[in-house]
A and B are shown apart, each in its own frame.
Chain A
Amino acid sequence: MKKVRFTQIEGGQGFWALLAILGAVIVAGLGAVYYMEHNGHWVTGMNNQIVWGMPHVFAIFLIVAASGALNVASIGSVFGKTMYKPLAPLSGLLAITLLAGGLAVLVLDLGRPDRLIVAMTTYNFKSIFAWNVILYTGFMVIVAAYLWTMLDRSMKKFSGKVGFVAFLWRLILTTGTGSIFGFLVSRQAFDEAIMAPMFVVMSFSFGLAAFLLVLMVTYRMTERPLGDAVLFRLKNLLGVFVGGVLYFVLAYHLMNLYATEHHGVEAFILRDGGIFTALFWVVQIGLGSLLPLALLYHPATSKSRSMIATAAALVILGGFAQVYVIVIGGQAYPMTIFPGFEATSSFADGAVNSYSPTLAEVLLGFAGIAITLAATAVALKLLRFLPESLGDEQVVAKAEDSAAVKAAA
């Protein structure tokens, strides 16, 4: 059996330049946080009608992608697909760093980020937010343990069991994230049980797209071989996940379109919502779903590395648009407080709420991405996360060996 050698990445000039750029983005984001917290949130685009804005779009995207990034490891250890096993350490690492980036954005946007310790110690267990605090910290701990079983030979025997727990935990975690919206009985765009499974499938898609991009960029930058076998397997899987998200989006809107009480919010998102309608059809569905599907499966593009990378980037772009439409679009649509009445007031009753994200909010969001990437890069430099080669002869030989061992057993 051909052995996979895991090594640290070499810290050349490119590595340090990357860290410097990411560091600058993080510093800019922290500056934005100081500006927003010092003045108060009135300097942001958020207000009393759109209370969750751009930071939440970034945070939710990253948190959802985090649990999805772990899928590659799960496929290896829970579902026994040997080809994925060499990818497991990077998968676990990305799961942790994506979550860290997302949580950083979420926490730094709080009205009182200085009270984080209150959130960690005072729980209302009926709140899905409180559950999420436990789910997020638990995820970090479990995936860290999972990584330990991968990297420490003496712990390897626990890898399967810990991997299974991590897999279950990540499903619960994304169910919790989707439930943040599913549990909101007051708002016409939310209050749907389908939110939870839809977020789970979104996580599969966003997480794998992020993993694929990081894998391709890292192997290119470090000049390590990355064979077609691994890459094509992953890109086919990405296509399946993108299709899965489309199915849930279709089911969500079909259900809403059937019920008269939801016609207003559907007309808003699908037809009359201006920026939200454009984001939904053009970015989420067109650029973020249909185009990647075509790129990933069409014979003319499906074997091209640049096209596969483009498709993954488009899935991420579409994912951001999807979260934006869900989070901001759901708040922009006027809340139905008095069914059957037209309402007007000084507090935007009956009016479509507008939101213009400010630079500070966007900088905070990008700082979250930078935290993810910087933490990933540093970890890859310090620990042996990456196989020296994911070339076809390496990966396919290993998979065949493993199959042969199993057959013999």
Chain B
Amino acid sequence: MGDLFDLPFEEEQDQPTAQEPPTDGRLRATPAPPHSSPPQASPRPASPPSVPPLPVPERVGEVVPAALARPIAAPHERDRAPRRRPGASSGRALTVGQLTAQIRHLLESELFEVWVEGELSNCRLWNTGHLYFTLKDSSAQIKGVIFRSSLRYLRFKPEDGLKVVARGRVSVYDPKGEYQLVCEHLEPQGLGALQLAFEQLKARLQEEGLFDPARKRPLPALPRKIGLVTSTDGAAIRDILKVLARRHSTAHIVIRPARVQGEGASVEIARGLKALGHVPGVDVIIVGRGGGSIEDLWSFNEEIVARAITLCPVPVISAVGHETDVTIADFVADLRAPTPSAAAEMVIAAKDEFRARIDRLADRLRTSAVGRLRTLGRRLQLLTSRPALAGLPSRVANRGRHVAELSHALAHTGRLTLQSRERHVRSLERRLRACDLRQRLAHVRTRLVGVDGRGAAALTRRLHRATTQLRECAGRLESLSPLAVLGRGYAVCWNADRTRIIRAATQATPGDRVRVTLAEGELDCDVRDTILDSAPRVQS
């Protein structure tokens, strides 16, 4: 947009002219003198520098004249200033200015497009936005500059020690008698420019602590709404929706469409993250795209996306390309999914995990409650069976009440337990039915049969066991009831008006009337004799 105004003139503006010698002592490019413009091409590109990449010439490592075949600035023209006669009369000698002008002419017309390979050093960015540096190898060095207008097209940051191939022209600065390389483009060697940019940004963000595991937020237990930042035409969205549909998830998804490759994509992605992060209910966001080349995935290596992920108010899952593609977004995201489908699985997995956890808790709840009741029941049994029947008549009334309470409680719990188990089994059956086995993937099917199938069988078994248990309990309770004791042959002897239980023979005298309660019915009796020395005999 503003590029149109990033004209070559700007370079000149910042370059000192002969009238204004540079104060920084650095070599600057000067415009070619009007009288010596080279025949083939202007020393400067006529148009603003266009975007790389440019082919690297086969012969790097040396200065390659653009036109090898072309003879150098007419050395045999006799009427030109003689070069080999420095000691000649002043009339025939060149001024320094003339010589310099010739040198400049020679260099600028011959070396107006060269590729040079070397190592960067002394890189300094001036507040004009131009970058000055020295390019060197083991035997020589040359000063160089890359103007702001070209610098902005570099994807990586030129740093000391980097091996690069520079494309540019040689320019001479007359006042200092110095020459320098005016670069239009730099290409890192070894690593590609993108790879290098990746490493640089990665190092920087790591330094900032943005990859710190402590920063990673857990996924929500139960996502209310799942945010999705991706292209609506891409493979990623289809994969994700397919997984959610296949898993019968009832997810609520909010999609923020964004281009995921090409110029401006990173800005759209970053904006999408920000917008979705503020939609009420969205508590996890998947950002990603399907596979592609490193250039296709590049948006996810840009700082603006990385920052948007770290600033997002809810956890972000990155899902870029295939398993082997690693982007900066993956490092800063709260969770990295190897693929978009995997991201969807992860979101649902949380739900599955919770379902399992609740089932386990409910199981333990039942087990522990039933266990508790059983313990209490056992204690009761011990109590009633121990000092046993000697004191039974006096406690019968109390016990009876206690037993009644317990049996009521147990029946209540039993009912609850049974109901909830039945409900659980029904819900499992429902879930089993809901799974259309034909359509599921093989591993899901295996899992279902393996886990849910087993689970259902176990539940049914448990239900059986619980029923038996309940029956046993009821039986035990019955055996403890006073009626049951009487059923075993015991009887209770009362005084005539049934206000007092007769425990000893001395409590009655011959001629008294007593009542005897049996398991079934009562007897109205007359006492004929009292026998005090008879030992109580218990028959079972």
Partners in one complex: no
